[in-house]
């Protein structure tokens, strides 16, 4: 009778639906229960660029890999990260360390990047306005084979009141951010285009799809002009592949690097 009672209790519990929370922190790794499980050796994460269904989230930040291009180098980023503490060597956890420029991959520029007095005064990446870095943004297509001059800016017909604009250029078509060797022929702003932007628009965030928002030959002058005002934030090396033109909700969060004139940044677009 005792054994029969145990069997009845077990069968009764097996018929009751029990809800367990799905592990949403790692949506690419399917799990049924929030319990410790033994992972098979062939289990691998699925890396995604677009999340969600109707309300899509586009990751417009580049992955950090040794092949990521860096300014004026043919070698790419190289080995920037190492496993300093390893469980394979008996440690209780894995701990990686990395060394790279703050202007690597998708990043922001702070005023101190091209102005020494701003650098000394503390106008660093931690001082950038999150209200500018987050909010409605317009993604526009720049005419191909052209740097962004005053003439090009006029042709884009960006409405007044738009504060954040991402410029999709030939750089995306050429997939320059996926090529290890730096390419100085990238498309960017010319100084007259930057001046037109300041004088004729309300733009406070400028996003571009290569390592510099300013064209190579005029990069120092254009950076100095934009950053001198301290009210416009350049976001550089955005990944705009397969993202259509239009209005989005932009969210960019730079690392809070006190004293740094730039910072790696995770940027997403929500449609």
Distances (CA, A) of 82 to 46, 74, 79, 98, 195: 22, 21, 8, 6, 43
pLDDT confidence band for 100 (50 / 70 / 90): very high
Residue with tokens 């860096």: 70
Q: How confident is the model at residue 24 (pLDDT cuts 50, 70, 90)?
A: very low
Q: Kindly report the length of the chain.
A: 271
Res 137: pLDDT: 98
Question: What's the pLDDT tens digit per position in 254-265?
Answer: 999 999 999 999
CATH 3.50.30.50 fits 107-270, yes or no: yes
Q: Is 63 within 8 Å of 267 (Cβ atoms)?
A: no
Higher-pLDDT residue of 31 and 232 is 232
pLDDT at residue 192 tops 90 = yes
Is 213's pLDDT higher than 50? yes
b (16+ CB within 10 A) / e for 166-177: bbbbbbbebebb
Residue 18 has pLDDT above 50, yes or no: no
Backbone angles phi, psi at 246, to 5 degrees: 140, -175
Lowest mean pLDDT among 33-37, 63-67, 125-129: 33-37
**pLDDT over 50 at 4, yes or no:** no
Pairing type for strands 262-270 and 246-254 reads antiparallel
Report angle CA 190, 196, 199 to the nearest 5 degrees: 145
- What average pLDDT score do residues 93-111 get? 98
Which residues lie across from 43 on neighbouring strands?
none
d(CA 122, CA 125): 9
Is there a contact between 181 and 201 (Cβ–Cβ < 8 Å)?
no
pLDDT at 47 over 60: yes
Report pLDDT for 54. Answer: 83
pLDDT digits (tens, 9 = 90+) for 74-87: 999 999 999 999 99
**So what's the pLDDT on residue 6?**
37
CB 263 within 8 A of CB 107: yes
Instruction: Write out pLDDT tens, residues 127-166.
Output: 999 999 999 999 999 998 889 999 999 999 999 999 999 9
Q: Count the neighbouring beta carbons within 10 Å of the beta carbon of residue 85.
A: 13
Q: What is the enclosing helix (H) or strand (E) of 107?
A: strand 107-109
End-to-end CA distance of the chain: 63
């Amino acid at each position: 009778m005792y054994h029969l009672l145990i069997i009845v209790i077990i069968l009764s519990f097996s018929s009751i639906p029990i809800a367990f929370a799905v592990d949403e922190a790692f949506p690419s790794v399917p799990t049924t229960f929030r319990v410790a499980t033994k992972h098979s050796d062939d289990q691998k994460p699925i890396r995604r660029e677009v999340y969600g269904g109707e309300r899509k989230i586009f990751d417009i930040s580049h992955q950090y890999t040794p092949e990521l291009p860096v300014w004026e180098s043919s070698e790419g980023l190289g080995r920037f990260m190492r496993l300093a503490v390893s469980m394979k060597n008996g440690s209780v956890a894995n701990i990686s360390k990395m060394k790279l420029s703050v202007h690597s991959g998708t990043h922001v520029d702070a005023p101190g990047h091209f102005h020494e007095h701003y650098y000394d005064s503390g106008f660093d990446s931690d001082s950038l306005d999150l209200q500018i870095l987050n909010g409605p943004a317009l993604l526009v297509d720049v005419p191909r084979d052209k740097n962004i001059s005053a003439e090009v800016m006029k042709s884009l017909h960006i409405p007044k009141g738009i504060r954040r604009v991402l410029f999709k250029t030939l750089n995306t078509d050429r997939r320059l951010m996926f090529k290890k060797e730096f390419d100085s022929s990238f498309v960017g702003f010319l100084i007259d285009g930057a001046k037109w932007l300041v004088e004729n628009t309300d733009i406070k965030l400028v996003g571009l799809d290569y390592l510099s928002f300013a064209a190579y030959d005029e990069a120092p002058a254009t950076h100095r002009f934009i950053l001198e005002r301290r009210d416009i934030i350049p976001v550089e090396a955005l990944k705009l592949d397969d993202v259509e033109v239009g209005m989005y909700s932009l969210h960019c969060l730079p690392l809070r690097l006190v004293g740094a004139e730039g910072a790696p940044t995770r940027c997403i677009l929500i449609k």
